[in-house]
Amino acid sequence: MPEPADASPSGGTPERAPARGVARRWLLRRAGTVVAAAGAGAAAGGLLGARAAKEKGATGQRPTFLLVHGANSNAYTFAPLIAALTLEGHRALAVDLPGHGTQANFPPSYQAPQDLAAFATAPSPVLSRTTLEDNVRHVADVVRGVARQGPVILVGHSMGGATITRVGNQVPDAIARLVYMSAFCCVRIRTVLDCFLVPEGRTTLLPTIPSVGDPERTGVLRNNWRSADAGFVAKAKAAFAAEYGDAAFRNALNTFEPDESASLIRDDARGHPATWGRVPRSYLRFTLDRSIPLALQDRMIKEADAATPGNRFDVHSLRAPHLGPADPAPLAAVLAGLA
């Protein structure tokens, strides 16, 4: 069954990229991970809008930042950001999405000495079956639990934006604020993959990073982040954090996980104005991002604001690449200001 076309920003003729099916397959096979891993940097009963959140704060219930990572990532990558927030007196918690963290797949062929032929076909038991709905269900359960302690500020980075949007559809009354850190926020554009087929997304450097294996067979997008190929590392650095020093980037690269579910980028990630659209939201633009280009970030902000003109994004800009600032202090300061 053909997938529905995306509506144009003006609501007129649907927008299609040339050779759409070919472009989709090319992105799947060439990009490996079509969305970037999270790097530098993480609900309450009844709708907690700004007024309700202030009332909660007046009774001593401080908000909790609940941090959701991107593709090929895990909760650990938020450790520096959580430390910075905690030192400023804020509560923060990061979650591992299904198939990540302690459930991550690290095949023996991924370890040194690597067996690249075996690595290309190794199964990924959890992620090959994981959908965006699985991520949403997991995070929504955490939101409900944290909300018993006070307001929740739900933060998503990169692909994590698709998850928090859908969580906003499901439990809007449990979230005080949604925060997108250079993250996907789909409203008119249906899927994360479709974001790279619109003009604003075609300059992404993600497809330049060589992938491993066939996602149609393994069910996952796979990358060899432990590659000794200097060309591979250079391409990954250009896409994720060209401004980092080599040592800092290698440090970040060693937190990446090799697999990500191939389903996630093709699942419907749109926010619904009647639910997600009720929750106050902020967007943190990373102006040096070469994975989710700034033009694409701005398009997503514009389309979200058009869908809910009475609840527009609160926008902040940071001079940072996709992984965020190497020093988490500026990012923590912006987040703290939202509390």
pTM: 0.85
Band (pLDDT 50/70/90 cuts) for residue 61 is confident
Sole residue written with tokens 């979650």: 95
**Cα–Cα–Cα angle for 323, 93, 236, rounded to 5 degrees:** 15
**pLDDT tens readout for residues 302-332:** 999 999 999 999 999 999 999 999 999 999 9
Residue 293 DSSP class: T
Exposed (0-12), middle (13-18) or buried (19+): which is 302, by Cβ within 10 Å? Answer: middle
Q: Are 143 and 174 in contact (CB under 8 A)?
A: yes
**pLDDT tens readout for residues 74-103:** 999 999 999 999 999 999 999 999 999 999
Mean pLDDT of 295-306: 98
Residue 10 has pLDDT above 90, yes or no: no
Could you confirm whether domain 20-338 is CATH 3.40.50.1820?
yes
Residue 171 has pLDDT above 50, yes or no: yes
Q: How far apart are CA 91 and CA 81, in angstroms?
A: 11
Q: Are 99 and 80 in contact (CB under 8 A)?
A: no
Cα within 13 Å of Cα(207), Cβ side: 15
Q: Name the percent of the chain lying above pLDDT 90.
A: 81
Mean pLDDT of 158-167: 98
Mean pLDDT of 255-272: 97
Integer CA distances (angstroms), 294 to 198, 204, 235, in order: 13, 10, 19
- CA 294 centroid distance within chain: 15
Amino acid at position 214, single letter: D
Residue 22 has pLDDT above 80, yes or no: no
Alpha helices in the chain (DSSP H): 20-31, 50-58, 79-87, 116-121, 132-147, 160-170, 192-195, 215-218, 230-240, 246-253, 294-307, 329-338
Q: How far apart are CA 239 and CA 282, in angstroms?
A: 24
Mean pLDDT of 109-119: 95
